Amino acid sequence: MPRITLPDGCRGLDMADGTKYTKGPGDKVDVSQAHADAIRRGYYGQSGIMRGGEQFTLGTKRGMACTPCKRVWNAWNHECPRCGAPTEEQTA
């Protein structure tokens, strides 16, 4: 079962189908595979703020680096979620 870490300030997840996961900030939450896929496709996954296990790292150490922000995002972040600049593929 996929496990994700909620970002600071996030008190839980409300899924589109009405399922709610509630945890304190920083806690790990076990979610169903379907919900993990939804999260990965959605805002949290796209913005890179939701971190988790292999479901969210795509099984690789590759990341997309933003030079201005000096940070490496997830492999699917072709633009920096923070500043919007194009990212460059990087092998960390």
Max Cα–Cα distance, the chain, nearest Å: 39
83 binds Zn ion (CB under 5 A): yes
Tokens representing 5 are: 């870490």
Please report whether residue 10 would count as binding Zn ion according to CB under 5 A.
no
Phi first, then psi: give them for residue 15, nearest 5 degrees: -85, 160
* 63 vs 60: CA distance, rounded Å: 8
* Least distance to Zn ion, CB of residue 21, Å: 29
Provide the token pair at 79.
């633009």
- Closer to Zn ion by CB, 12 or 68: give it: 68
Work out how close the CB of 80 gets to Zn ion at its nearest, in angstroms, rounded to a whole number: 3
What's the angle, vertex CA 10, arms to CA 12 and CA 54, rounded to 5? 80
Q: Which is nearer to Zn ion, 26 or 68 (CB)?
A: 68
Judged by CB under 5 A, the chain residues 43 through 82 that form the site for Zn ion are 66, 68-69, 80, 82
Give the footprint of Zn ion on this chain (CB under 5 A).
Answer: 66, 68-69, 80, 82-83, 85
